C-alpha cells in the first residue's frame, strides 16, 4: 500500500506540531512563532490545532538553514520566500504562455481557424 492509496501528497497536512518539530529539528514554540510571522502556514484541525505537511517540514528546515547558516533575519527570510513563490508563479505563467504561443504559431502556419 502506498501514499496514493490514501490520496496523500506533499501538501497534505498530516503531522501534529510535536511530530513536525521533531522532523524539522525545531522546538514547537519556534514552529508557532514561524506560523505567527507567516513563514509557514500549517493546516488546522477542527479544534484549531496545527497540522503540517511534508512541504511545510522542508520549508521549516530551509528557514532554519537561512537563519543559522546564512545569518538572515526572519523578515529577510519572509521576503526571500515570497520572492521564490512569485518566481515560481511567473515561471509557470511563462511556460503556459510559451505553450499558447506555440499553438498559435502552428495555427497560423497551417492557416487553421482557432478553436
- Bridge partners, 44 (sequence order): 50
In 1-115, at which residue ranges do the beta strands (DSSP E only) sit? 15-16, 43-44, 50-52
Segment 60-87, tens digit of pLDDT = 999 999 999 999 999 999 999 999 999 9
69: three-class secondary structure by DSSP: coil
Confidence bin at 6 (pLDDT 50/70/90): confident
pLDDT digits (tens, 9 = 90+) for 20-53: 999 999 999 999 999 999 999 999 999 989 999 9
Reply yes or no on whether the pLDDT at 5 is more than 70. Answer: no
Which residues lie below 8 Å from residue 38, measured CB to CB, with a gap of 6+? 78
In words, the CATH class of domain 13-111 is mainly alpha
**Spatial separation of the C-alpha atoms in residues 58 and 53, rounded to whole Å:** 9
pTM score of the predicted model: 0.76
Amino acid at each position: 500500500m502506498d501514499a496514493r492509496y490514501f490520496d496523500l501528497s506533499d501538501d497534505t497536512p498530516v503531522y501534529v506540531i510535536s511530530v513536525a518539530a521533531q522532523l524539522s529539528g525545531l522546538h514547537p514554540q519556534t514552529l508557532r512563532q514561524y506560523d505567527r510571522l507567516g513563514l509557514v502556514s500549517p493546516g488546522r484541525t477542527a479544534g484549531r490545532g496545527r497540522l503540517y505537511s511534508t512541504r511545510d517540514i522542508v520549508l521549516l528546515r530551509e528557514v532554519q538553514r537561512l537563519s543559522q547558516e546564512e545569518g538572515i533575519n526572519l523578515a529577510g527570510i519572509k521576503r526571500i520566500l515570497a520572492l521564490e513563490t512569485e518566481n515560481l508563479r511567473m515561471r509557470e505563467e511563462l511556460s503556459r504562455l510559451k505553450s499558447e504561443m506555440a499553438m498559435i504559431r502552428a495555427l497560423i502556419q497551417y492557416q487553421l481557424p482557432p478553436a
